[in-house]
Amino acid sequence: MARTQIIGTGSYAPEKVLTNADLEKIVDTSDAWITERTGIRERRLAAPGEATSDMAVRAAQRALEQAGVRPEELDLIVVGTVTADMPMPSCAALVQAKLGARRAFAFDVAAACAGALYALSVADQFIRTGQVKRALVIGAELLSRALNWEDRNTCVLFGDGAGALVIAPTEDPERGLLSTHLYTDGTFADILAIPGGGSLHPPSERVLEERLHTVHMNGREVFKFAVRALAESTHTALKANGLHPRDVAHVIAHQANVRIIESVMQRLEMPIEKCWLNLGEYGNTSSASLPMTLDEAHRSGRLESGDVVAMMAIGAGMTWGSAVMRW
């Protein structure tokens, strides 16, 4: 059975930069407070009229160009997002139309910050079974329009952006995606959620007044859950492939909080230098985080053929997962 190989990466971040100094003017916070607790110095905000699908398309075009694949050659598009342009149709359908990928079937995956990893795992199954030859995996998020800009515990964390991966089968035994491992525990759904806007709390004056359409988070509980879950799932992925932490050349982690990443790396007994960090410039871009980070690492020339790369992500649900590949 063929393995899945990443043959192109791309990312997109909006032009508008919102710094910690800017946030000091609109909410009770400080640059020192944000930087010390999160590692974030600035984040990007989508322009007025710019939608999630627009960002996804920009990232996809860069990934396709690098892969040497035309949109009409794609068989599948999977978009990880919880901030689609509209409830229906899917963001993926709009991306398919904007790219001109007429042959591709397309759908969204809603796993919040773990969305891109979930999308990659789903697309991987289509590649491995031979049903798909060329697939586009995207993580795209526009959370700046789903934030309470008076809540300093959440509004300082998130930024907008998109990342994309083009994947294809490979018969090379020394390369490709070795395995993915996905998990969910819905009993923790209330520690990170956007409670309003769905069928439980449909749009109404009360939803708007109580800010139920914005991100609500119990930061302490999310931190504890994330550190344990990410370390355990990464250990599981390595063990499944007969690998040890010392075998890993690079870690591509969801960029949620530098303290979470540092704690996970300590549990894995890996030096932090193995983990590519960009949350200082982009903040937490949710599902876009993993492919954006991988694209940066790839384009920097840091990844070499045969390198063992471990990936991990966690999001609302709680949903989380890990993956291991040989680059």
Query: Is 91:52 a contact under the CB 8 Å cutoff?
Result: yes
- Among residues 36, 261, 33, 58, the alpha carbon closest in space to that of 142 is found at 58
Q: Is the CB of residue 258 less than 8 Å from the CB of residue 85?
A: no
Using CA atoms, how far residue 67 sits from 63, 74, 147, 168, 232, in Å, is 6, 12, 35, 10, 33
What is the rounded CA–CA span in Å between residue 203 and residue 10? 35
Kindly state the DSSP code that residue 269 receives in the 8-state scheme: T
Catalytic residue among 91, 113, 155, 275: 113
Catalytic residue chosen out of the listed positions 20, 181, 216, 284 = 284
- 128 CB contacts (<8 Å, ≥6 apart)? 1, 2, 3, 4, 169
Question: Is 254 tagged catalytic?
Answer: yes
Q: How many other C-beta atoms are found inside a 10 Å radius of the C-beta of residue 129?
A: 10
Of residues 143, 293, 152, 157, the one with CA closest to residue 214: 143
Q: Which of 254, 257, 275, 298 is catalytic?
A: 254
> Could you confirm whether 284 is annotated as catalytic?
yes
Nearest in space to 184 (alpha carbons), one of 111, 260, 265: 111
Which one, of 267, 276, 266, 278, lies nearest residue 311 by Cα? Answer: 276
Catalytic residues: 113, 254, 284
